[in-house]
Structure 1
Amino acid sequence: MADLEVDLVAADGKIWSGRARLVSAPAADGEIGILVGHTPVLTVLRRGELRVKTSDGEALRWMVDGGFLSVDSDQVTVVVDSVEAATDTAAH
């Protein structure tokens, strides 16, 4: 199965890089989901959760604020203004 090549970068350096099946990001005009074979796109990001489902099934999450996402030939580049690890906020 083909995978996406993903790079998540902030102003202070690379946050994560690897192979993924799915990238979901908070685009300025709504949530965007990227799968293998997605058409080329460049979009501005708003504050929200960036999710990556890795090739081995691991679910990764970060809270991002600002930046952009670029997709071309199954290469996904996410450049963000700020990023922090996402945390579960649900009360039990």
Structure 2
Amino acid sequence: MVAPDRKVWSGEAKQLSARTVEGEIGILPGHSPMLAVLGNGEVHIDPIDGKRSTITIDGGFISVDKDQVRLVAERVDATALTA
């Protein structure tokens, strides 16, 4: 996950969920390739090791291809994690 000014999160996850402009989406390993426009809201990341991270974003894009998720947020809450 990146924002215009920084890398916010990177790693392996069991699940990621986010709000797209068409509704909520959940992504698990093996998810079909996709590209979507993100809406405002929270992104939840369940890493392989560790506890859930919740990051508030204002729009962006998400893509899934070959078990890799790339999320580019237009704006990320200033208190969000830094990778």
Q: Are positions 1:17 and 2:10 aligned together?
A: yes
Q: Greater CA deviation, 16-25 or 56-65?
A: 56-65
RMSD: 1.1
> Please, what TM-score do these two structures have when normalized by structure 1?
0.82
Determine the structure 2 residue equivalent to 1:34: 27
**How far apart are 1:61 and its partner, in Å?**
0.4
Q: Which amino acid letter does the alignment assign opposite residue 48 of structure 1?
A: G
Determine the structure 2 residue equivalent to 1:49: 42
Identity between Structure 1 and Structure 2 (%): 49
Unaligned runs of 5+ in 1: 1-7, 87-92
> Please, what TM-score do these two structures have when normalized by structure 2?
0.90
Structure 1 segments (4+ residues) deviating >6 Å: none
Q: Which has the higher strand share?
A: 1
**How many residues are treated as equivalent by the alignment?**
79
